[in-house]
Chain A
Amino acid sequence: MHFAKGAVPEDYLAYVRRKYFWILGGLLLLFFMFIYSISVGEVEIPLYKVMQTLLGQKPVTKWDVGVRSIIWNIRLPQALAAIVAGAGLSVAGVVMQSILRNPLGSPFTLGISNAGAFGAAVSVVVLGTGKIQSTVADPIMINNPYLTTIVAFFFCLLATGIILLISRIRASSPEVMVLAGVALSSLFTAGTMFLQYFADDTQLAAVVFWTFGDVGRVNWLELKIMTCVVLFATIFFIINRWDYNAIDAGDETAKGLGINVERVRLVGMVIAALVSAVIVSFLGVIGFVGLVCPHMARRVIGDDQRYLIPGSTLLGGILLLASDTAARLIVSPYVLPVSILTAFMGAPIFIYLLLRGYKR
């Protein structure tokens, strides 16, 4: 059976070009947001100065040296962390929604965030890594952040492992995965509450503080690890975009197209979970981005994973960066953790998009 008489339809090519324009537009927006985000805050740095410093120009005045230090030590890692974390949570979310065949799929559907929070609570309360420091800028500190991160990461992986084990027994059914995730979430939440109930004031504050996801927490090393993981996952997901498209068309259609649905589902879930686990254990819980950014992207760019995966990744970066920038400005000189702002910023836009429906 051979068909070769067809032409390449012009209207389709125009449609594809429009999709690429959206992605290009997203990239530009992200870039401008990035420069703007570095320039604003307690110390206002002019945009041209930001560019010059990022491009590596040698400082001339004493003020230049200060600006350089602010940018390289504080603002740049924070802005990059926001972009990387937003992109990672969002791309994990879009893939979870596809492979779990569930619009409520997100990195946290499988209980990963609650597992991370429980891990942090174990570290602070049981292993005693929490204490308070009384400074205005940084009132609460966890005195051994590495141990806390490692324990949180361990519990994130534990949650993933349990779900893998359950789905192994039940043949990777998406319903089982989602429901097992809900059950694990509750279990870990209960565990965290249990620990909090017996914690003293200091420990309680440290646990609560940890759960407020904050992109200002990372150092360059953590940022590098996070970037590698998110980059690897995004590339992997883009390579497999056709398989996710096929699963979106239904498991049976996908199998008829020669796709090993169970394997795609399992591998996709492990990678999405890994991305979420890394982000959660470094930054704390940042909700909403992973769930909602993919849906916002869908309403602009459609459900085709060829455009949706890059679109969601960009939008995740944009939303988290915008939230973090706003969090720095709203109650300045205090800096809000970004997790409080993501929902404040995202929810109204999302509800608007829901009401408006799809873009034609």
Chain B
Amino acid sequence: MILSVEELEFLYRSRKILHEIAFSIEEGEVVAILGPNGVGKTTLLKCLNRILRPKGGTVHLDGNDLFDLGTMEIARIIGYVPQRVETGRLTAFDAVLLGRRPHIKWDITEKDLRIVDSVFRLLSMEKLRMAYIDEMSGGELQKVAIARSLVQEPKILLLDEPTSSLDLRNQVEILAIIRQIVLEHGIAAVMTMHDLNQALRYADRFIFLKGGKVHAHGGAEVITPQVIEEVYGLPVVIGEVAGMQCVVPGSPEVPFAHNL
């Protein structure tokens, strides 16, 4: 067990955002956090690496209590890819090199450069190495952000809506890369998502949040029309297309789901 959360509680100015959150994650797993906007998915993610400070509960990282670790120690265990990535006039190589920050003492070493180079190869983005990130497309920028979190050599990756601003091809590519890296390197990934179909294809386990609590938690079996309607307040149909499970909004009675 690489990450376990018990009784996690988060308050924003005395307003309860998250409470009674409990789940655990194993190595080699991709976990999708699902739920409507504003339910606290991003907040939950940020509590896991203490960007936000939970009010109560415990988080165990790789056997350590999260609250006993320094911020740099946390950053050596957890890589975080936020929703928004800022650009500037620097090369992709330098932008990714920044991910070595938790390991840098005074200055970068040859080892840091080697690690950055091998991550560029791993993500097949050698061609982008010397490109300036302020001239990049959203998809390329997202890959740079993921590469940056990988050079941290983390055991856990946290990704906040990694595909939210990407086209279909880039969405599939990014999620497939995450899936593959998690399997090959025995790390774990937790990502917040909106697209249930992408979640079904690329995640092993699912956490549905509703009203600041875990509403449902488990493997693909928890993705049922009933759970989805309870969480999103929207009727859906789940069917099979080419052997893959598919979630379609609406129902035979309300095909376009516009007059809910």
Least Cβ distance of B102 to chain A in Å?
A: 5
Please count how many residues in chain B sit with their CB below 8 Å of the partner chain's CB atoms: 59
Specify which of A1, A7, A9, A303 is in contact with B155 (CB 8 Å cutoff): A1
Verify A15–B72 contact, CB threshold 8 A.
no
Whether A7 touches B98, Cβ cut-off 8 Å, given contacts A12-B129, A256-B51, A260-B71, is no
Closest chain B residue, CB of each to CB of A4: B114
Which of chain A's residues 295-320 have a Cβ closer than 8 Å to chain B?
298, 302-304
The yes or no answer to A245 lying at the interface (CB within 8 A) is yes
Specify which of B89, B114, B153, B154 is in contact with A6 (CB 8 Å cutoff): B114
Verify B102–A304 contact, CB threshold 8 A.
no
Expressed in whole angstroms, the Cα–Cα distance for A243 and B93 within the complex equals 17
The yes or no answer to B68 lying at the interface (CB within 8 A) is no
Which chain A residues lie closer than 8 Å to B85 at the CB level?
A: 249-250, 253
The yes or no answer to A126 lying at the interface (CB within 8 A) is no
Verify B51–A252 contact, CB threshold 8 A.
yes
Least Cβ distance of B72 to chain A in Å?
A: 4
Verify A6–B117 contact, CB threshold 8 A.
yes
Specify which of B51, B89, B94, B151 is in contact with A3 (CB 8 Å cutoff): B151
Name which of B101, B150, B152 has the most chain A CB atoms within 10 A of its CB: B101
Verify A304–B84 contact, CB threshold 8 A.
no
Verify B115–A6 contact, CB threshold 8 A.
yes
Verify A303–B89 contact, CB threshold 8 A.
yes
Verify B101–A250 contact, CB threshold 8 A.
no
Verify A302–B89 contact, CB threshold 8 A.
yes
Expressed in whole angstroms, the Cα–Cα distance for A253 and B151 within the complex equals 13
Whether A6 touches B82, Cβ cut-off 8 Å, given contacts A245-B98, A303-B89, is no
Whether A249 touches B117, Cβ cut-off 8 Å, given contacts A1-B150, A257-B101, is no
Closest chain B residue, CB of each to CB of A16: B94
The yes or no answer to A246 lying at the interface (CB within 8 A) is yes
Verify B71–A11 contact, CB threshold 8 A.
no
The yes or no answer to A154 lying at the interface (CB within 8 A) is no
Which of chain A's residues 1-46 have a Cβ closer than 8 Å to chain B?
1-9, 11-12, 15
Whether A4 touches B115, Cβ cut-off 8 Å, given contacts A15-B91, A256-B79, A258-B74, is yes
Expressed in whole angstroms, the Cα–Cα distance for A304 and B122 within the complex equals 25
Seen from chain A, the residues whose Cβ lies within 8 Å of a Cβ on chain B are 1-9, 11-12, 15, 242-243, 245-246, 248-250, 252-253, 255-260, 298, 302-304, 358
11 A-B pairs besides A5-B118, A259-B71 with CB distance below 8 A are: A3-B114, A6-B121, A12-B129, A249-B85, A249-B98, A253-B86, A253-B148, A256-B79, A257-B75, A358-B89, A358-B132
